Amino acid sequence: MSIVHNKVQLVDIEPRNHDQRLDNFLLSRLKGVPKSRIYKLLRSGQVRVNKGRKKPNYRLQEGDQVRIPPVTVIDKPASEAPAYMLEKIHNAIIFEDEQLLVINKPTGIAVHSGSNIAYGVIEILRQLRPDANMLELVHRLDRETSGCLLIAKTRPSLTKLHEIFRSNEAMQKTYRAILMGRWQGGERMIDAPLKKNQLKGGERIVTVDETGKQAKSLFTPLEYFDRATLVEVKLFTGRTHQIRVHAVHEKHPIAGDPKYGDNEFNQALKKQKFKRMFLHAYNLQFKLEKNYNITAPLDEQWQQFSETLK
């Protein structure tokens, strides 16, 4: 690990960065610089666009000139994913065109690197395609969740897809989940507000709370088993851990959920060699320049668990 002291940079914005938020541009440009430091540079006016101050949410325009002051960057060598992981993600690509590609994300793999995660899906994709002009996550899935994960290949498609995801009507998101116990009462809309909290250990947890943000999920039972139920879930909002917390709220936690699930039920699954959370982003429907309807097949372990329940 080495320390690099950058000089003042004057960066001309190219077409691929057109309409990107200023803070996101700096975060990608200054890898290794803490996010808090970048926002401090913006607040203090040390970062300038066309010689003037701009807010973090300013949308860059082609031809803008960004002044980046000298900063201390911790230059860490990138961790390369092993060959088997490259093959796994390559084989998980289920759709691709000029605008985007879709990964059927395997369970247990993070979407991006973090403090204790050397690499995620996006880093693996960039390692697979070093010559790609752009590969950016459109949204995120929990590490334990499998299924449809969208990756933008152009700046305009990323901007438009972000707008679509913010509009609950423009993006139809359908999940599959296996819940503990037999679901009672048929199809049900869960309209329970969610609030993020923080545990003493620093772990993030979400709870149903009247002071939280509105969250709506439609649960539809598809198949009943003696001790579990397969359900389809349609999201009408996109809150953190929404399906997982709504399932617990209905007293039917998701099978294998390590954070919100039933410990005794999960231990029984592990004894049967089932070591995943049974939540899957099954289908995405939206319109970009054309209509997209993308389904991610369920994996082999999911199929095996279903057969065991039968």
Residue 174 has pLDDT above 80, yes or no: yes
Report how far Cα 225 is from the mean position of its chain's Cα atoms.
30
Looking at every residue in the chain, the average pLDDT score rounds to 90
Q: Of all residues in the chain, what percent carry a pLDDT higher than 90?
A: 65
What ranges do the domains of the chain cover? 2-75, 83-159, 171-309
Q: Please compute the mean of the pLDDT values over residues 152-177 and round it to a whole number.
A: 89
* pTM for this model (two decimals): 0.79
Total Cβ atoms within 10 A of residue 77: 7
Evaluate whether 138 touches 99 at the Cβ level (below 8 Å).
no
Return the DSSP state at 273: T
- Model confidence band, residue 75 (pLDDT cutoffs 50, 70, 90): low
- Model confidence band, residue 150 (pLDDT cutoffs 50, 70, 90): very high
Quick one: pLDDT at residue 268?
Answer: 92
Quick one: pLDDT at residue 262?
Answer: 94
Residue 92 has pLDDT above 90, yes or no: yes
Is the fold of 2-75 the same as that of 171-309?
no
Could you tell me which residues come within 8 angstroms of residue 185 by beta carbon, excluding any fewer than 6 positions away?
A: none
Q: List C-alpha distances in Å: 216 to 22, 55, 194, 245.
A: 32, 33, 10, 11
Provide the pairing of β-strand 279-287 with 146-152.
Answer: parallel
CA angle 175/153/299 to nearest 5° reads: 30
Residue 70 has pLDDT above 50, yes or no: yes
Tokens of 114: 């973090």
Query: CATH topology for 171-309?
Result: Pseudouridine synthase (3.30.2350)
Evaluate whether 217 touches 235 at the Cβ level (below 8 Å).
yes
Q: Please tell me the class of the 2-75 domain.
A: alpha beta
- CA atoms of 137 and 102, how far apart (whole Å): 10
Q: In this predicted model, what pLDDT tens digit does every residue of 197-215 receive, in sequence order?
A: 867 566 778 999 999 999 9
Find, among 284, 285, 280, 283, the residue nearest to 299 by Cα: 280
Quick one: pLDDT at residue 201?
Answer: 64
Return the DSSP state at 52: B
Residue 116 has pLDDT above 50, yes or no: yes
Evaluate whether 111 touches 137 at the Cβ level (below 8 Å).
yes
CA angle 141/144/149 to nearest 5° reads: 30
Q: Please compute the mean of the pLDDT values over residues 4-28 and round it to a whole number.
A: 81
Comparing 72 with 155, which gets the higher pLDDT?
Answer: 155
Residue 74 has pLDDT above 70, yes or no: no
Q: In this predicted model, what pLDDT tens digit does every residue of 25-46 receive, in sequence order?
A: 898 788 778 888 889 999 999 9
Helix (H, G, I), strand (E, B) or coil at 272: coil
Q: Please compute the mean of the pLDDT values over residues 168-172 and round it to a whole number.
A: 82
| 142 is a catalytic site residue | yes
- CA atoms of 56 and 38, how far apart (whole Å): 10
Residue 168 has pLDDT above 80, yes or no: no
- Model confidence band, residue 142 (pLDDT cutoffs 50, 70, 90): very high
Helix ranges (DSSP H) in the chain: 22-29, 35-43, 83-91, 121-128, 155-166, 242-249, 263-271, 300-309
Could you tell me which residues come within 8 angstroms of residue 161 by beta carbon, excluding any fewer than 6 positions away?
A: 100, 138, 150, 152, 286, 288
CA angle 145/201/214 to nearest 5° reads: 50
The catalytically annotated residue of 142, 191, 209, 299 is: 142
Residues comprising the chain, all counted: 310
Q: In this predicted model, what pLDDT tens digit does every residue of 216-257 receive, in sequence order?
A: 999 999 999 989 999 999 999 989 999 999 999 999 999 999
CATH 3.30.70.260 fits 83-159, yes or no: no
